[in-house]
């Protein structure tokens, strides 16, 4: 039976004991049984009218029975989803009081330190929400925190999808939708925290003005059109507002619905495990377990957001004061999701600005702002297609991978994250310099170096870690668990007893498959007549990348290897007990681990030569 | 591996030498499945959580009306807080968490915990469907004469391509005035006094002591006079006219131009960073360095404000100054180059102002 085509259904896949039990059950259904419906149950009369008009029964039958696999990492996307809903709810609340205007007023509210200060209506109304509207501050903090959780949720969810290979066919389109959503979420967040028109957010808008001006050719025009003229003008808050409350949320919600539909249609991915195949999905049906868990989790996320909003102050705009273009505070940082871009601006050296035919090209700014954002998201968006091309894999994948079983992808992902983190930390270089008593100049130079060096180091370390974990898995399969029980033989030798794995545990460690480099597929590519096909210009690149990805792969243990390992052990035991004890004690020496036979003997060309 | 199909990537091990899926492991019942007391205990826990939620919701409403919104208190580890806000948040959090944790606990202890299995179906349509769609599209193409009368396609395409322009162009064109000379000019002009911000007092050169630093705005845009201005003009002026004035030891000034444009060691520079436009607000008196807090561009005050560190490229523009008949510091002229961040046409104002000659 090929592993990818285990026939559907639980019954015959289930281990013997369970099937036997289920078949003979005539007594009342046990509590864990998935179907405890009454035999006499009928379709609710109240819904008959709805069904006649909408076919509700068909939809409910399809929807209520849908199965969703259960794993903690699947909750990460739900955090993002629920946080978005919380932000929508609380944001609607805020629109009832917020005045998106840069018109000037003199503050006369209950916050004494700002009494009589001239400010914009946007800032004054934000103060009113914080001080005059009862509970307004709570809603404001809920809104800001949920927005942050939304973006954190997106980030960790995207990392989960990336490192488990969930983006592979047929889910590439949904990955792209998610990538677009994450970019929109960041822009939405930036637009949102710019609205109060306090000193901090005004400084952010001032910087945005500078970014836009740096765009070659169109920068000046674009800036004047977005700001309605010279900085600061009186339009930008109003325009950011309509983008923040209508345009971007509408697109986000639309994409979010599409994202959900594209999760449900091909059914959710699942982690590999005994019984789980590429053709089935095992989990809990919507009615009742998944509905209770997912619905309950919404309240958990909302509840935690409320607790955080109650106890942890965020964006106290009254402390910053109204925006004044002549003022700035030390330690001005954007919200964390914009750190990497602002950090890039701190690291890019001034010599990247140059003049060409009398025109000014500010790549020291353009590169870190207007170019960096689309570039990062473009790379994210095309990754699934690039990896599929490198792998030469056109199959559908519904079983997730453990990150260690895709060592190069995991290492590439971690290297990219390390680059991102360097940029993000560079954005708080002034704070770090103060807290760590370092020179800000040294720190900036260090980050410049780290940006290039750290990803390389991280790549090699993570790749080696993955390979080591894979070898460890192999070792576990071949020699069993270490029991911690040390036995002394009659001759006085000591060895540790290893317990064999049960077949369910073993399956999780051996089910994965390992692609090998494309260049080693069949030798020279030939057409159906055996004539050698000329290699395209990209073939070399593809083969090189494929080799980079898969040349060091470590394959899963096969049954014959396991048999050989057992046989090997017994054989040795007959001839030299010391050898057997040594193997029992330390596991097989690395050079003799069957996985390495592939490479040392070149039998199955697991390694690029 | 001669059997490998185009659709399948080669893997390092042949398909036949693989372990087979052992199938689902037998189900282990939970405690609450086999022990009625455990089930009852779980049920009580769930009910308790829901009850806490209900009580917290009521407590929220009571607090909303009963507590003074101005009430302050202090919490260990947090410090002084608005108690009204904290109580509202805590009760709301409990009300939500009670429901959430209750539902999850209920699902985990009392609802079925044996997984169901569904079969997956490929997303791809059957070949029959694809063929049918192919015929439908072909029918659409031919039955509308598109295959024979190319003018139809061309004109329809042209019309569709253009119809959005009347909607889009007025919106885009109406967004803002096009840039002209604004980026090249400030409110500084010959004879304009440098006034201290925010008081609006003029600065007598003789009164400026060694090492003093002033934040300066042009006469008429600061102090009482500023209240007469249109607020937008005032904000624009603040954004581009801000100047930092420092009195240095003339011997320390390294640039002759800087000395010439200053007066007796007093020099004035635009305070708008040449990187992205933040105010260059941090002046270190010992080193004479000016630091922009936004991205840490550092300018050397003694060397014509050249960039000595950070992402900015150009020095801060200097405002040429002198003193008038009464001994007050005035501008000799406006800035002689655009202040603030770089932009594409910076060195070629003609590109933006060609029609103004």
- Among A196, A195, A185, CA closest to A248: A185
Residues of A in contact with B236 (CB under 8 A): 230-233
Question: Tokens in use for A475?
Answer: 């070792």
Euclidean distance between CA atoms A391 and A542, whole angstroms = 9
Interface mutation target, options B14, B15, B18, chain A, most CBs of A under 10 Å: B18
CB B15 to CB A2 under 8 A? yes
CB B311 to CB A345 under 8 A? yes
CB B344 to CB A351 under 8 A? no
CB A350 to CB B297 under 8 A? yes
Per-residue pLDDT, averaged over B335-351, amounts to 89
pLDDT of res. A287: 87
Q: What is the DSSP letter of A366?
A: H
Question: Tokens in use for B351?
Answer: 């590109």
Sign of CA dihedral B70, B72, B75, B77: positive
CB B116 to CB A225 under 8 A? no
Residues 132-161 of chain B whose Cβ lies under 8 A from any Cβ of chain A = none
The three-class DSSP label of residue A354 is strand
Euclidean distance between CA atoms A536 and A542, whole angstroms = 10
Residues of B in contact with A432 (CB under 8 A): none
Euclidean distance between CA atoms A115 and A9, whole angstroms = 71
Secondary-structure class of domain B183-356 per CATH: mainly beta
- What is the residue extent of each domain of chain B? 31-109, 183-356
| A572 CA: distance to closest CA in chain B (Å) | 24
pLDDT of res. A18: 41
B350 touches chain A (CB under 8 A): no
List pLDDT tens digits, range B80-114.
888 999 999 999 999 999 999 999 999 999 998 88
CB B24 to CB A288 under 8 A? no
pLDDT of res. A25: 42
Which residue in A has a C-alpha nearest to residue B23's C-alpha?
A275
- Among A478, A517, A502, CA closest to A595: A478
pLDDT of res. A358: 84
Residues of A in contact with B110 (CB under 8 A): 31
Alpha carbon separation from A30 to A70, B24, B106, B171, B261 (Å, rounded): 21, 18, 16, 66, 93
List pLDDT tens digits, range B14-73.
667 888 899 999 888 888 888 899 999 999 999 999 999 999 999 999 999 999 888 888
Which ranges of A245-391 would DSSP assign to H, the alpha helix? 248-264, 291-311, 317-320, 339-347, 363-366, 372-391
Euclidean distance between CA atoms A125 and A139, whole angstroms = 14
The three-class DSSP label of residue A18 is helix
CB pairs < 8 Å spanning A and B? 434
ipTM field: 0.91
Per-block mean pLDDT, blocks of 10 residues, chain A (609 long): 38 42 50 77 92 92 91 95 96 95 92 92 94 94 97 96 95 96 95 93 91 91 92 92 96 96 93 92 91 96 96 91 87 87 90 88 90 93 94 91 94 96 92 89 92 96 95 91 86 85 91 83 60 72 89 88 74 45 46 40 37
Alpha carbon separation from A184 to A150, A360, A433, A579 (Å, rounded): 12, 30, 32, 62
CB A559 to CB B19 under 8 A? yes
Which residue in A has a C-alpha nearest to residue B89's C-alpha?
A310
- Among A275, A277, A252, CA closest to A267: A277
Mean pLDDT of chain B: 89
Residue pair B96/A306 in contact (Cβ under 8 Å)? The answer is yes
Beta bridge partners of B306: B300
Which ranges of A404-502 would DSSP assign to H, the alpha helix? 407-426, 429-436, 440-479
Interface mutation target, options A32, A318, A406, chain B, most CBs of B under 10 Å: A32
Residues of A in contact with B176 (CB under 8 A): 224-229, 233, 235
| B33 CA: distance to closest CA in chain A (Å) | 5
Domains of chain A by range and CATH? 72-321 (1.20.810.10), 468-601 (no CATH)
Percent of chain A exceeding pLDDT 70 equals 85
| B287 CA: distance to closest CA in chain A (Å) | 15
Q: Which range, A232-236, A455-459, B222-226, B279-283, has the best average confidence (pLDDT)?
A: A455-459
């Amino acid at each position: 039976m090929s592993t990818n085509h285990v026939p559907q259904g639980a019954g015959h896949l289930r281990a013997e004991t369970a099937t036997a039990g289920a078949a003979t059950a005539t007594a009342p259904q046990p509590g864990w049984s998935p179907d405890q419906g009454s035999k006499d149950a009928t379709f609710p009369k109240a819904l008959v009218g709805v069904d006649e008009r909408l076919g509700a029964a068909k939809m409910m039958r399809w929807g209520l029975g849908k199965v969703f696999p259960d794993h903690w990492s699947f909750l990460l996307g739900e955090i993002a989803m629920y946080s978005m809903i919380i932000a929508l709810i609380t944001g609607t609340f805020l629109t009832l009081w917020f005045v998106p205007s840069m018109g000037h007023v003199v503050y006369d509210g209950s916050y004494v330190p700002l009494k009589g200060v001239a400010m914009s209506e946007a800032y004054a109304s934000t103060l009113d929400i914080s001080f005059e509207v009862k509970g307004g501050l709570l809603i404001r903090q809920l809104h800001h925190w949920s927005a942050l959780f939304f973006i954190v949720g997106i980030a960790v969810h995207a990392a989960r999808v990336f490192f488990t290979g969930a983006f592979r066919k047929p889910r590439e389109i949904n990955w792209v939708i998610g990538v677009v959503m994450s970019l929109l979420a960041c822009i939405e967040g930036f637009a949102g925290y710019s609205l109060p028109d306090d000193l901090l957010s005004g400084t952010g808008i001032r910087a945005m003005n500078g970014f836009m001006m740096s765009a070659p050719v169109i920068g000046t025009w674009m800036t004047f059109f977005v700001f309605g003229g010279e900085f600061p003008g009186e339009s930008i808050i109003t325009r950011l507002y309509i983008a923040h409350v209508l345009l971007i949320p509408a697109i986000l919600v639309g994409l979010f619905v599409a994202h959900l539909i594209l999760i449900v249609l091909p059914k959710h991915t699942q982690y590999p495990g005994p019984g789980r195949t590429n053709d089935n999905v095992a989990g809990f049906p919507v009615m009742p377990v998944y509905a209770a868990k997912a619905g309950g989790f919404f309240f958990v996320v909302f509840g935690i957001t409320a607790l955080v909003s109650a106890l942890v102050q965020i964006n106290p705009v009254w402390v910053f004061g109204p925006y004044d273009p002549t003022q700035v505070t030390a330690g001005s940082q954007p919200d964390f999701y914009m750190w990497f871009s602002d950090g890039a601006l701190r690291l890019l050296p001034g010599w990247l600005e140059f003049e060409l035919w009398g025109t000014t090209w500010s790549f020291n700014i353009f590169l870190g702002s207007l170019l960096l954002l689309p570039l990062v998201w473009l790379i994210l968006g095309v990754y699934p297609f690039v990896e599929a091309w490198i792998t030469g894999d056109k199959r559908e994948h519904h079983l997730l991978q453990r990150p260690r079983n895709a060592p190069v992808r995991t290492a590439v992902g971690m290297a990219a994250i390390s680059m991102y983190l360097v940029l993000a930390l560079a954005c708080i270089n002034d704070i770090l310099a103060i807290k760590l008593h370092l020179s800000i100049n040294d720190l900036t130079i260090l980050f410049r170096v780290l940006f290039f060096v750290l990803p390389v180091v991280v790549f090699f370390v993570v790749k080696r870690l993955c390979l080591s974990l894979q070898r460890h898995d192999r070792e576990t399969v071949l020699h069993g668990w270490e029991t911690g029980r040390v036995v002394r033989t009659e001759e006085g030798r000591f060895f540790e007893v290893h317990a064999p794995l049960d077949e369910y545990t073993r399956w999780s460690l051996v089910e994965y498959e390992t692609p090998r480099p494309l260049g080693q597929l069949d030798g020279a590519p030939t057409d159906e007549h055996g004539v050698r096909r000329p290699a395209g210009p990209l073939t070399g690149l593809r083969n090189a990348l494929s080799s980079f990805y898969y040349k060091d792969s470590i394959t899963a243990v096969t049954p014959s290897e396991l048999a050989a390992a057992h046989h090997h052990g017994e054989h040795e035991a007959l001839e030299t007990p010391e050898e057997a004890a040594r193997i029992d004690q330390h596991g097989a020496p690395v050079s003799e681990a069957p996985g390495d036979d592939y490479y040392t003997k070149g039998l199955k060309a697991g390694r690029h030569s | 591996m001669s059997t490998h199909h185009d659709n399948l990537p080669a893997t390092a091990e042949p398909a036949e030498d693989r372990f087979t899926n052992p199938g689902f492991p037998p189900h282990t019942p939970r405690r609450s499945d086999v022990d009625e007391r455990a089930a009852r205990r779980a049920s009580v826990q769930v009910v308790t959580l829901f009850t806490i939620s209900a009580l917290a919701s009521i407590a929220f409403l009571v607090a909303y009306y009963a507590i003074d919104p101005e009430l302050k208190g202090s919490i260990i580890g947090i410090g002084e807080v608005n108690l009204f806000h904290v109580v509202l948040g805590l009760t709301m959090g409990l009300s939500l968490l009670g429901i959430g944790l209750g539902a999850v606990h209920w699902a985990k202890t009392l609802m079925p915990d044996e997984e169901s299995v569904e079969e997956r179906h490929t997303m791809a349509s059957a070949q029959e469907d694809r063929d049918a769609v192919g015929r439908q599209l072909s029918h659409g193409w031919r039955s509308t004469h598109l295959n024979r009368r190319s003018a139809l396609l061309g004109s329809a395409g042209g019309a569709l391509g253009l119809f959005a322009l009347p909607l889009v162009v007025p919106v885009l064109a109406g967004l803002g005035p096009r840039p002209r000379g604004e980026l090249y000019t400030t409110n500084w002009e010959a004879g304009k006094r440098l006034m201290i911000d925010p008081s609006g007092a003029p600065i007598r050169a003789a009164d400026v002591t060694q090492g003093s630093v002033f934040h300066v705005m042009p006469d008429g845009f600061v102090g009482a006079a500023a209240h007469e201005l249109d607020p937008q003009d005032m904000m624009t002026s603040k954004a581009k006219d801000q100047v930092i004035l420092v009195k240095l030891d003339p011997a320390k000034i390294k640039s002759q131009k800087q000395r010439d444009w200053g007066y007796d060691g007093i020099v004035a520079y635009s305070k708008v960073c040449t990187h992205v436009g933040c105010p260059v607000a941090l002046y270190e008196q010992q080193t004479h360095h000016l630091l922009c807090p936004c991205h840490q561009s550092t300018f050397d005050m003694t060397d014509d404000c050249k960039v000595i560190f950070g992402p900015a490229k150009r020095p801060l523009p200097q405002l040429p100054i002198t003193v008038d008949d009464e001994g007050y510091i005035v501008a000799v002229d406006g800035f002689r180059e655009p202040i603030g961040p770089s932009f594409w046409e910076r060195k070629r104002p003609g590109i933006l102002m060609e029609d103004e000659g």
